[in-house]
Amino acid sequence: MSQMERTYLDPDINMETTVYWESAKNGKLLVKTCKACGKLHYYPRTICPHCLSSDTDWVEASGKGTIYTYSVMRRTETPYVIAYVTLEEGVTMLSNIVECDVDDVAVGQTVEVVFRDTEGGHSLPVFRPA
Amino acid sequence: MVRPTKAYIAGVYEHPTRKAIDKTIPQLHAELAAGALADAGLTKDDVDGFFCDGTGPGLGGISMAEYIGLDLKYTDCTETGGSSYIVHVGHAAQAIADGKCSVALISLAGRPRAEGLKTLGARTYGGPPEAGFEMPYGPAVVNTYAMAAMRHMHEFGTTSEQLAWIKVAASHHAQHNEHAVLRAVVTVEDVVNSPMIADPLHRLDCCVISDGGGALVMVSPEIAKSLGNRSVKVLGQGEAIKHLNAGQVDLTYTAGVTSGRIAFEEANLTPADMDYASIYDSFTITVLITLEDLGFCARGEGGKFVSDGNLISGIGKLPFNTDGGGLCNNHPSNRGSMTKVIEAVRQLRGEAHPAVQVPDCTLALAHGTGGQIGTRSGSATVILGRNDA
Ligand SMILES: [Zn+2]
C-alpha cells in the first residue's frame, strides 16, 4: 500500500537560505560548496563549516542518493517515513521517503529527489525509491 | 587507596511526585532544594552556588534563586538538555576547587505530564539555523532515536530482542521502587510485542513521561568532612557535544566517547573498575550505544552485552539503573541525568533498595545524554566514589 502523505510544514527561511528554497520551486536540490577548501556541506550556510571561508557557492545535486537510515512514524494520523539520505555528492540530509510502501523501505536503498508543496506554497525536497 | 577529590556530593533528593498537577515549577525547585539540603544536613543559608538548566522560569537561575531565597556568589545555567545536570556536577566541582563557592545546589524541575506536553510531535527550539532543513520532515524525539537504532541494527546486526533486554532489566529493578511509574516486570516478548511507535522502537523501548525533578548538594572536602561519611566523591567528569557535522553523518556513536574518556582519565579508572552504572535511558537504544561509547564493550557488541540479564543487579556483570531508570521509574521534565546521579549516590552510600543494592559498591558511573542522538546532543559522564574510595 502506498502511503498517504502528510501536510508539510513550511520551512523557516532566512537570508542565508532563500536561494535554496527558490531553487526547490524550480525542481533543483542545491548543496553548498566552498571554493576555499573544496568541500561540500549540508545544511547550507553562508560561512563554510569546514574552514570558515565566506567564499561558498551553490551547486546543484544530482538528486540521487541512498538511505543511510530511516524510521517509520507509526502513531500519527498519517504514518510517514523519516530518513537520512546520503547524496551521491557525499553529504547526508534529513528528509522523507514518499511514493513507497512504508514496510518496504530499507537502509541502503537508492532513492531520487522529488518535490512536495508545503502548506504555505514552498517546495520541499523529499525522496522516492529510484 | 584514598583518591583525591575536588568536591563531594553531600545531599541528593528525588521528588516523589510523578504528576505535579498542583505544583508550580518554582515550587518544585524549592521543595527539591529543601529535600537535598536536609539530606546533606545543611540549610538554605549555607548555599552559595546555584546550578540549573535553561528551562527554569525567568532569567537563567536568577528568578529561581530569588524564589528559593538564595544568596549566591556563583551561578551557572549551562543548557545541554538532559545531560545538563552532570555537566553541572563537573562545573560545580571546579567552582568549589577554585574557591568560587563551597556549597552548590543543582536543581531540575518540570511538569510535562501535568501540562499535557507530548514528546511525540515535532519540537521547535526558537529558530535555530538547522530548523528549516529539519522541521518540515517531522523529526520527533522518538523517530530520531529510532534512526540511530535502525542504523545500529544495519551495521552490527543488533536485534529488537537485545534492545528489549534493557527494558527487562530496568523493570526488574523498578518492581522494588514504590515511586516508579511502571512497576510490572516485563519480558523480552512483552517489549517486542508492544505497539511499534517508530521503527524499530516499540512502546516499551521508550521511557516514561513524568513530572517532578531532583536536586544535588555539592560541597568542598572540608565541609564534607564535617558532615560525616555519607558524602560521595566526584572522582572525574567529562562533557562533550556531537552534531551532524556539516552532513558527514554517523549515528552509531555519541559524544559519550569523548565525555567518558575524559572522565575516566581524570579519575584514573576504567570501565572494568565500575561496580555500578547509571546510564541515561530515554530509549533502550540510548543505553546500548552509550555502553559502547563508554567502553563497557566494543563497538557493535552492545547487543550481546545487554542480553541475558547482564544489566540486572545480582544477576549480571554490570548492574545499571537500579531505581528502574527513565525506562520504568522517572524521567522528570523529559530530562534524565539528574536521577542517574541520585541513584549512583544511593548505591555508593549503600542506601539503594536492598533487593537491588550492589554489595560493597565502591565506584560508580553516571552518564547523561541531552538532545537527540539522531541529530545533535550533549553527553556528560561522572565517576563517583564512596567516601572511603
Ligand atoms: Zn571551506
B374: in domain: yes
- Claim to verify: residue B165 and residue B43 sit in the same structural domain: no
- Claim to verify: residue B67 and residue B104 sit in the same structural domain: yes
Q: What is the CATH number of the domain that holds B30?
A: 3.40.47.10
Domain endpoint, select from B196, B231, B266: B231
B91: number of Cβ within 10 Å: 22
- Claim to verify: residue B337 and residue B359 sit in the same structural domain: yes
- Give per-residue pLDDT as tens, B17-40: 999 998 989 999 999 999 999 999
Q: Is B197–A6 a contact, with Cβ atoms under 8 angstroms apart?
A: no
B122: in domain: no
- Claim to verify: residue B144 and residue B61 sit in the same structural domain: no
Q: Is B226 helix (H, G, I), strand (E, B) or coil?
A: helix
pLDDT of residue B120: 44
* DSSP per residue, B254-294: -THHHHHHHHHHHHT--GGG-SEEEE--SBHHHHHHHHHHH
How many domains, in total, are found in chain B? 2
Domain endpoint, select from B200, B231, B262: B231
- Claim to verify: residue B197 and residue B264 sit in the same structural domain: yes
Rounded Cα distance, B176 and B179, in Å: 9
- Claim to verify: residue B100 and residue B181 sit in the same structural domain: no
ipTM score assigned to the predicted complex: 0.96
B313: in domain: yes
- Claim to verify: residue B154 and residue B224 sit in the same structural domain: no
- Claim to verify: residue B268 and residue B222 sit in the same structural domain: no
- Give per-residue pLDDT as tens, B193-228: 999 999 999 999 999 999 999 999 999 999 999 999
Q: Is B136–A11 a contact, with Cβ atoms under 8 angstroms apart?
A: yes
- Claim to verify: residue B205 and residue B274 sit in the same structural domain: yes
- Claim to verify: residue B184 and residue B313 sit in the same structural domain: yes
Asked if residues B204 and B164 have their Cβ atoms less than 8 Å apart, the reply is yes
Q: Tens-of-pLDDT digits for all 389 residues of chain B? A: 688 899 999 999 999 999 999 898 999 999 999 999 999 999 999 999 999 998 878 887 899 999 999 999 999 999 999 999 999 999 999 999 999 999 999 999 999 999 887 554 444 434 788 999 999 999 999 999 999 999 999 999 999 999 999 999 999 999 999 999 999 999 999 999 999 999 999 999 999 999 999 999 999 999 999 999 999 999 999 999 999 999 999 999 999 999 999 999 999 999 999 999 999 999 999 999 999 999 999 999 999 999 999 999 999 999 999 999 999 999 999 999 999 999 999 999 999 999 999 999 999 999 999 999 999 999 999 999 999 99
Going by CATH, does the domain composed of A18-129 fall within 1.10.1740.10? no
Interface of B with A in 228-247 (CB under 8 A): 244, 246-247
B360: in domain: yes
pLDDT of residue B57: 84
Strand stretches in chain B, DSSP E: 8-14, 49-52, 74-76, 103-110, 196-198, 201-202, 212-219, 232-242, 276-279, 363-371, 377-385
Asked if residues B239 and B378 have their Cβ atoms less than 8 Å apart, the reply is yes
Q: Is B109 helix (H, G, I), strand (E, B) or coil?
A: strand
B73: in domain: yes
Of A13, A45, A69, the CB nearest to B147: A69
Q: Is B201–A118 a contact, with Cβ atoms under 8 angstroms apart?
A: no
Interface of A with B in 32-51 (CB under 8 A): 39-45, 49-50
B367: in domain: yes
- Claim to verify: residue B95 and residue B137 sit in the same structural domain: no
B201: in domain: yes
A2 touches B: beta carbon within 8 Å: no
B127 touches A: beta carbon within 8 Å: yes
B375: in domain: yes
- Claim to verify: residue B45 and residue B147 sit in the same structural domain: no
B287: number of Cβ within 10 Å: 30
Beta strand pairing call for B232-242 and B8-14:
antiparallel
Q: Is B138–A108 a contact, with Cβ atoms under 8 angstroms apart?
A: no
Of A41, A107, A126, the CB nearest to B247: A41
